[in-house]
Amino acid sequence: MEYSSRSIEKKWQEYWKQNRSFEPSTDFSKEKKYILSMFPFPSGRLHMGHVRNYSISDAFARHYRQQGLNVLHPIGFDSFGMPAENAAIKNGSHPKGWTYDNIDYMKNEFYALGFSFSREREMATSDELYTKFEQSFIIDMYEKGLLYRKKGMLNWCPHDQTVLANEQVVDGCCWRCDTPIVKKDMNQYYFKITQYSDELLGDLSKLEAGWPKQVLTMQENWIGKSNGLEFDLHFDEASKAKLSAAFERFDVFTTRPDTIYGVSYTALAPEHDIVTYMCENKLLSQESIAEITAMKNTSSIDRQKEKKGLSLGLDVIHPLTGAKIPVWIANFVLMDYGSGAVMAVPAHDERDFDFAKKYDLPINAVIKPLEGELDINAAFTEVGILFNSAAFDGMNSKESQSHVIDYFEANKIGKRTTNYKLKDWGVSRQRYWGAPIPFIHCDSCGLVMEKKENLPIALPEDIEITGEGNPLDKHPTFKHCKCPKCGADATRETDTMDTFVESSWYFLRFCADASNWESEAFSKEQIAYWMGVDHYIGGIEHAILHLLYARFFTKVFRDLGYINFDEPFDKLLTQGMVLKDGSKMSKSKGNTVDPDAIIEKYGADTARLFILFAAPPTQELEWNDSGVEGAHKFIKRFYDRSSNIVATQTIPLIAHATLNKEEKFARKKVYEALTRANDVFAERYTFNTMIAGVMEAMNALNTQNNSDVWSEGYWILTSIMEPVIPHVAWEISEKYFSCNNLSVQKVLEEVFVEESIMLGVSINGKRRAEIEVAADESEANIIQIAKDAAAKWLEDAVIVKEIVVPKKLVNIVIKG
RNA sequence: GCGGAUGUGGUGAAAUUGGUAUACACGCCAGACUUAGGAUCUGGUGCCGUAAGGUGUGGAGGUUCAAGUCCUCUCAUCCGCACCA
């Protein structure tokens, strides 16, 4: 029978659905595997990146099911977010309708690809039931002091009309629409992720075995811990007088306390309080104030182009020498790191050096190289020997650091401090299509939490989306409510949550049996059984944001007593991008390949086979039409040659010794493929080599016509390939084996035993001949046979050394 | 600038601990079947050379009987972070 992807795939998709084949068991005594791929945003249709993502996770899920494990392989949709609103503005659709239509369409695509998701645990984060529990968690976090509201300078995207977290600002532009962001002063809710900075950093070491190094490094850099010295710089009397005693000192942080004697000026950020005070009280010239205002309004990218600054006409006292040090403003000093003020050591810091050169400030060297002369035309930033540093003279600069800090601490003029680049996570968004923040503003009670029994605070559906401002603000009733505390008229918070909040705990929700979804988010017992996620698969683009937030939520939930582990994802696999013609598939480049069209033309199995065969999962994958043809050809041949099988209910028992050479070779190749497949699933994840092994075995089976060898071969190969090409595998397996082979297969060592083996013969490391020897041939005989085979190269030569590498080669070292 | 990766045939890629480099597939070439082939099957295919042979994993050195693999230096490309004091 001719291979027809359409009828076979339809048949099995229907069968799996009818038989609830992929629902996890609630029997918690069984060994489990939780296989999770990052859930998609319902943008409309699947793209090849999705197909790759879910083909990988599905291969794991199906493999573990064959092993008899209880497998959770769920799917959901990260369905809140701006694109739904943007589509609404563009097409006049409703965000909800647009979202759920897309979900329906994409679900059909998933099942047309044969992915073995649990249908019963499907959900979308915009479901009211999901919002209900999320709002409840938000209230818990607020009560724990992990959520707070404050006024601050925020990243504002003028195009999307919303606030962005620091993590969502890419090169000074909005991560979604690429519009340059501006700073805006407004109220915003924050998660206190910084309270967990140290743990988020420290626990990365627990992930070393299961996470790619690259991701660990990215998170480490993002958290950005640095240790150093913090101390106060006091103004001199004249400066204090100038400031009308409003300020007596300011705080600075340095990671280079060893350079303390080289401080020759200090610099404040243009946004610093002292600067603001001086501007407001006209303590600076009109010209200077204008310059400062211009600095503040310059985007962070432009600020980096050129160092600029000006003198404030103030002086502070050096804490150790008592010398007067001028105070400047510098555009490279960041207000949101440390205290927004730095001590400047131009001799040993490149930025300070450039600034000092430009404004002709003194440069005081205090460290000289370990060897050679100090070059005074550049900042010397390496480790060296201290000089001009009073009691610390002669010390190694690196080693002196803690001595300097000790001295500051002993004299109570400074202290050891740690600083982080990580900032608190701003989570409120001025958008409609998100989970409402369940808070109420009351004139007399202030900020009040909604009562839990009133959750969810659901989004009203009768809204008008114009693209300007937040539709919830303009809604006739949503905003108006009673204060849960005093009962007076109050206003409901109209900000909604960043969609990263939803994706920070969805993997916990999946652990809950859908039958309990109404009453609880998840149960402790369910979480204890299913978590952590054994394999988490997704794109590298989530290396920082999503993965950091999910780790943060896990720790918070632990501290709230919901769960009792520290890290959610045991193993992380970051898949490479899908490229076409050398660049990432994207609509704007017009180089996309529509999965639907591939399924239509070749079938789901072909798409899955190609995508897993073309490259290892972590590497980029170049789409190649003739490669797809090749994958399709293999499936056709795989299906076609199955006619060589004799139907059987158990694996055929074969007397290996009675077989001919080709038959033995075929069996060996089959079991080699099995060994490799086991290894691939256990640790290497290189499905391309697993598939290549199966292809080799097929080629070897083809050279013989023993029907038992064919049957045994297919019994095993079909089992190996089921995770990759499930439809055709089940079809063959049902027809000949009643699906009995879709289970753990045992490796038979006997097929690897060989009577004779081939050895390469090298002379001085150069391959010269090949010999066939008995498997148990003595080393002396092997050397003799090798010498005979390579006699031509050994004439007139003196043999220096003879090396036999068992089962591999013989190397003879000669002279002359 | 800092950090992380990656460089192997015409192409996607193999080579798990240093041990016969290029498995598997695409492409190409030849042949078979065929009215026909963008179907199927068989064989060939790193490069130079008629051959013997030489040469070959970005480049240059080194360690070793033996290096794609280890060490030193270097070049190129990609990704992340980036005035973080």
pLDDT along chain A (816 residues), means of 10: 89 97 96 96 92 96 97 97 86 93 97 97 97 97 95 79 73 76 83 94 91 90 92 96 94 95 96 94 94 85 86 96 96 91 95 94 93 86 92 94 96 94 90 95 94 94 82 90 93 94 97 94 95 94 92 97 95 90 77 91 95 93 90 94 94 93 93 95 94 95 93 97 97 96 94 85 84 84 86 80 86 80
Residue A800's SS3 state is strand
pLDDT at A167: 64
Residues 361-420 of A with CB under 7 A from strand B: 419
DSSP run (H or E) holding A131? helix A128-143
- What pLDDT does A378 receive? 87
**Side-chain-side CA neighbours of residue A33 (13 Å):** 22
- Counted residue by residue, chain A has a size of 816
The answer to whether some atom of strand B lies closer than 7 Å to the beta carbon of A592 is no
Is strand B in 7 Å reach of the CB of A218?
A: yes
The residues, ordered by sequence, that sit 6+ positions from A234 with a Cβ below 8 Å of its Cβ are A248, A249, A316, A317, A319
Measured in angstroms, what separates residue A762's CA from nucleotide B28's C1'?
Answer: 33
- The Å distance, CA of A582 to C1' of B57, is 23
How high is the pLDDT of residue A70? 98
**CB A253 within 7 Å, strand B:** yes
For chain A, the maximum distance between any two Cα atoms, rounded to a whole number of angstroms, is 109
Determine if strand B comes within 7 Å of the CB of A686.
Answer: yes
Candidates A265, A261, A229; CA nearest to A353 is A265
* Distance CA A328 to C1' B3 in A: 32
Nearest one of A634, A630, A648, A636 to A710, comparing CA atoms: A648
Q: Could you tell me if A603 and A596 are in contact, meaning their C-beta atoms sit under 8 angstroms apart? A: no
How is the beta sheet containing A182-191 ordered, strand by strand?
A: A162-164, A147-157, A182-191, A425-426
Residues 175-204 of A with CB under 7 A from strand B: none
Q: How many angstroms separate the CA atoms of A208 and A680, rounded?
A: 20
What is the rounded radius of gyration, in angstroms, for the C-alpha atoms of chain A? 34
What is the token pair recorded at A547?
Answer: 């993965």
Residue nearest to nucleotide B12 (CA to C1'): A614
Helices and strands counted in chain A (H then E)? 26, 34
Protein CA at A214 to nucleotide C1' at B79, angstroms: 10
Query: What is the torsional sign of CA A346, A350, A355, A357?
Result: positive
Beta bridge partners of A438: none
ipTM > 0.85 for the complex: yes
DSSP calls for A397-466: HHHHHHHHHHHHHHTTSEEEEEE-S---EE-EES-SSSPBP-EEEETTTEEEEPPGGG---PPPS-----
Nearest 5°: the CA angle A631, A635, A638 is 135
* Residues A727/A608, Cβ–Cβ less than 8 Å: no
pLDDT of A297 reads: 79
Q: Does residue A614 approach strand B to less than 7 Å at its CB?
A: yes
| Residue A299: CB less than 7 A from any atom in strand B | no
Q: Which two tokens stand for residue A123?
A: 């959900």
Element holding A470 (H helix, E strand) = none
pTM beyond 0.95, yes or no: no
Task: Report the alpha-carbon distance of residue A145 to residue A192 in Å, rounded.
Answer: 8
Backbone phi, psi, residue A519, to 5° = -90, -30
Alpha-carbon distance values, A529 to A71, A508, A525, A534, A562 (Å) = 11, 11, 6, 12, 14
Q: Which residue's C-alpha is at the least distance from the C1' of B67?
A: A765
pLDDT recorded at residue A816: 58
Protein-covered nucleotides of chain B (CB closer than 7 Å) are 3-5, 11-16, 19-21, 23-27, 39-42, 53-55, 65-67, 79-85
Give the SS3 label for residue A335.
Answer: coil
Handedness of CA A762, A767, A770, A776 (dihedral sign): positive
- Tell me how far apart the alpha carbons of residues A89 and A693 are, in angstroms, rounded to a whole number: 52
Question: Is the CB of A544 less than 7 A from some atom of nucleic acid strand B?
Answer: yes
Is the CB of residue A505 less than 8 Å from the CB of residue A550?
yes
Return the structure tokens found at A309.
């600054």
Tally Cβ neighbours within 10 Å of residue A615: 19
Query: What does the alpha-carbon distance between residue A659 and residue A648 come to, in Å, rounded to a whole number?
Result: 20
Nearest to A146 by CA among A442, A549, A521: A549
Asked if omega into A726 is within 30° of 0 (cis), the reply is: no
Cβ contact A811 with chain B strand, < 7 A: yes
Residue with tokens 């010239």: A285
Q: Are A339 and A275 in contact (CB under 8 A)?
A: no
Pairwise CA distance, residues A240 & A460, whole Å = 56
Q: Strand B closer than 7 Å to the CB of A815?
A: no
Strand order in the sheet with A766-774: A766-774, A756-763, A809-815, A798-805
> Cβ of A665 < 7 Å from strand B?
no
Closest CA to A435 of A102, A130, A94, A31: A130
Q: Is the CB of A808 under 7 A from strand B?
A: yes
Please write down the HEC assignment for all residues of A309-333. Answer: EEEEEEEEECCCCCCEEEEEEECCC
Contact A530, A72 (CB under 8 A): yes
CB contact at 8 A, A517 and A76:
no
Strand B contacts (CB < 7 A) among A residues 729-758? 758
Angle at A468 between CA A465 and CA A470, to 5 degrees: 70
